[in-house]
Amino acid sequence: MAKKIRLRASAKGGVATVKALITHPMETGNRKDKKTGKKIPAHFIQTVSGKHNGKEVMLAEWGPAVSKNPYVSFQFAGASKGDTVELSWSDNKGGSASATTKVR
Amino acid sequence: MQRRTFMKGTLAAGGVAVAVSAGLLSPRAVLAAWPKSAFEAKSVSDALSGLGVGTSSASGDIKIKAPDIAENGAVVPVQVKTSIAGVTSIAILTEKNANPLAANFNLKGSAKGFVATRIKMSKTSPVIAVVKAGGKAYSARKEVKVTIGGCGG
């Protein structure tokens, strides 16, 4: 299972726009396996954190109603080119991943 | 496959109590911060009270960008933008989903009043954005028609 985050941050007039694509199944726990008829256990991202130069600017709490392979975007002020942006997530099974990028 | 390796790892560390408790505590610490009651709520008002929002007043300063007709309810792009100053959180809810709350974004420091994501919708329903700013809550809604639901099997 690939745990990947595609992360981009671009600044315009001091405001940075961060865009991220996370690879994650986001199972709701309500879907049934067609072959066995059993419910597929829930597996979804619960928290997503966005950091600008190590300082948290966004902390999202997600439910299973966020789409599979989630897309998330947010903005923050006071950004300049070369700043570090970090995005990390953790799911209900204790899995997690993070990625960093530079503002451009 | 992954579970097997996890079990092996846990058993191997069984003798070292410290390692086990450290390994088991970290996911639980994450769960504690996650507002379970809000996400499991069956109605919009219950979900909002789970987030600590009592009443919200409708505001024209919140713009929800979502399609009028979503062909696939499993992937509905939603963008919330607000010009209200001092935004501390933005929540996205789907009124007619079994569990209305989809996501809650806590914004801190220099964050702007803007979030975008993609959500699942089971059927045609208003999408509600609730913005918290300066201790008050504001809301806006937009009807999205869904032709194929995204919550079933």
The rounded distance, in Å, linking the Cα atoms of B121 and B128 is: 12
Q: What is the pLDDT along chain B (153 residues), one digit of tens a residue?
A: 556 655 555 444 444 334 334 444 444 444 447 899 999 999 999 999 999 888 889 999 999 999 999 989 999 999 999 999 999 999 999 999 999 999 999 999 999 999 999 999 999 999 999 999 988 999 999 999 998 766 654
A58–B110 C-beta distance less than 8 A: no
Residue type, A34: K
CA distances from B103 to A34, A78, B9, B21 (A): 28, 25, 33, 30
The CATH number linked to A80 is 2.60.40.10
Specify the pairing of strand A55-62 against strand A45-52. antiparallel
- Collect all residues of chain A within an 8 Å Cβ-Cβ radius of residue B98: 30
Q: Please, what are the domains in chain B?
A: 2-33 (no CATH), 36-148 (2.60.40.2470)
- What domain count does chain A have? 1
Q: Which of residues 12-31 of A touch B (CB under 8 A)?
A: 15, 17, 28, 30-31
Q: What was the ipTM of the complex prediction?
A: 0.92
